[in-house]
Structure 1
Amino acid sequence: MDAVPDVNSSGNISGIVRWIIKTSIGIILLALAMFISSGRLDWMMAWAFLGIVVIDNAILGIYASIKCPELLEERSRMKEGTKEWDKILAPLVALVVPIFIWIAAGLDYRFGWSPEIPVEIQVVFLAVALLGSLLTTWAMVTNRFFAPTVRIQDERGQTTVTSGPYRFVRHPGYLGVIIFDLATPVALGSFWAFIPALIVTILFFIRAFLEDDTLKNELPGYRDYAVKVRYRLIPGLW
């Protein structure tokens, strides 16, 4: 008797493959943006920065493939039910604006627009960027509903997540990305790269506000959770 194929398993596998392709393209675009704009390949901090991005995504990919493959399937593409406003915001914060951070840093490295930042300080901020990235990864592996766009995942039985970093702020994944993006300019030795970094930070605050309102109105249990965990992004402030 032939075995009945596991549809969910097959879907997860194809989703993992899509996530790997999507993530690989993102990393390649990051590398191209930095090295083409800088005009050279001997930019050591850019290689170190690229390395932490690769390592962090590898950690997420390996862990989620074993423990929560449906997370990678969910994150592999924009799905039906995505809020109309996030169809605009999600690409902006995920790639469009960040790529200008990397290009600005590369051009700055080529033309020397910014005052020289000591390597020791760049290394410290590289470590801060890594910590921010790991905070986002922690949020993702804690929350199997961590989608790339804002939508209510009724088909997956979405529930309110209150453990891990969600005990401290309601959107720890966004906080991690903000830390990463704001640390990147100094890590890459560019003050000019702060301009797009600040723009993407503002967009994340807007997105967090809109997502929070959506979850309060549409996700069971989230309004009670918001009473217990008061702050959206910054403990003690907002």
Structure 2
Amino acid sequence: MITRLILQTVVWLACMGALLFGAAGTLAWPAGWWYLIETGGLSLWVGFWLARHDPGLLAERLAPIVQAQQSRWDRYFMVGVMVMWCAWLVLMGFDAMRYRWSAPLPVWLVSLGSLCIFLCLFMCLIVFRANSYAAPVIKIQASRGHKVIDTGPYAHVRHPMYAAALLLFIGTPLLLGSWWGLACVPLLVLGLGWRAVREERVLAAQLEGYTDYTGRVRYRFVPFVW
């Protein structure tokens, strides 16, 4: 499991690096290197924690993003997410380095971006501690005794993992220095919100007690907002 975790992380970093630096047209991009180091290091930290405390969830997190148990719409969504993520990275490479469409961001904003990425991964760890069924695909994990989780961050919002992703969406373009990348964030948020609504329909129909849970916990992503 650890070997698979490391291999998948290395491949993921290599692909992101190829997209970022290929679009940038140069390897002399400190922010790009730091982005890969930070996201890779934090991802391994969370992965090693899962390997020790919840190997079942780690196996789910390492599984393919397209699976037989998924709804068809979620398969298409996940493939679309991968395509959009790659295009987003290429856009930020073009913007921040190759063509320099964006004015340089101040150091404090770049630092804020790095902090947002750290907080995203830290929040994911908190989510994993509370919810052993936090798979990346939408499905009912009957073989693992899937049940409603309403403790930890789930006592406050219904999708704390998505809430953490909002920080990644904001932090990535800030760290990489791309205003055009930041301008794409509302589209990413809308896509995530659409998936959250569809996911809730699946869970309400197939997971016992989920409808009652949505009645107790009102907000999806951010308390008092939505």
Query: TM-score, normalising length from structure 2?
Result: 0.91
Which residue identity lines up with residue 68 of structure 1 in the other structure?
Answer: D
Q: Which of 199, 202, 222 is equivalent to 1:214?
A: 202
Q: Which of 92, 99, 109 is equivalent to 1:105?
A: 92
Deviation at 1:140, TM superposition (A): 2.7
Superposed CA RMSD in Å reads 1.7
Deviation at 1:18, TM superposition (A): 4.2
Report what 2:211 is aligned to: 223
Ranges in structure 1 where 5+ consecutive residues have no aligned partner? 1-12
Q: Is 1:26–2:12 an aligned residue pair?
A: yes
Change (3 A) 1:29 1:141: farther
Change (3 A) 1:48 1:77: same
Report what 2:136 is aligned to: 148
Q: Secondary structure at the match of 1:61?
A: helix
> In the aligned structure 2, how far is the partner of 1:99 from the partner of 1:111?
18
Q: Is 1:166–2:154 an aligned residue pair?
A: yes
Deviation at 1:162, TM superposition (A): 1.5
> In the aligned structure 1, how far is the partner of 2:116 from the partner of 2:22?
25
Q: Is 1:56–2:42 an aligned residue pair?
A: yes
> In the aligned structure 2, how far is the partner of 1:164 from the partner of 1:55?
25
Ranges in structure 2 where 5+ consecutive residues have no aligned partner? none
Identity %: 29
Aligned length: 223
Report what 1:96 is aligned to: 83
Change (3 A) 1:101 1:197: farther
Asked if 2 retains the 8 angstrom alpha-carbon contact of 1:125 and 1:184, the reply is yes
Deviation at 1:170, TM superposition (A): 0.6
Deviations 1:164-211 (A, max 9, x none): 221211111111112211221122111111344332221111000100
Which residue identity lines up with residue 169 of structure 2 in the other structure?
Answer: D
Which residue identity lines up with residue 214 of structure 1 in the other structure?
Answer: V
Q: Which of 71, 78, 89 is equivalent to 2:57?
A: 71
Asked if 1 retains the 8 angstrom alpha-carbon contact of 2:117 and 2:168, the reply is yes
Q: Is 1:83–2:58 an aligned residue pair?
A: no
> In the aligned structure 2, how far is the partner of 1:174 from the partner of 1:132?
10
Deviation at 1:53, TM superposition (A): 0.6
Query: TM-score, normalising length from structure 1?
Result: 0.87
Asked if 1 retains the 8 angstrom alpha-carbon contact of 2:39 and 2:117, the reply is no
> In the aligned structure 1, how far is the partner of 2:193 from the partner of 2:4?
29
Change (3 A) 1:85 1:19: farther
Q: Is 1:38–2:24 an aligned residue pair?
A: yes
Larger Rg: 1
Report what 1:119 is aligned to: 107
Asked if 1 retains the 8 angstrom alpha-carbon contact of 2:120 and 2:167, the reply is yes
Change (3 A) 1:19 1:150: farther
Identify which range, 132-141 or 66-75, moves more after superposition: 132-141
Change (3 A) 1:200 1:92: farther
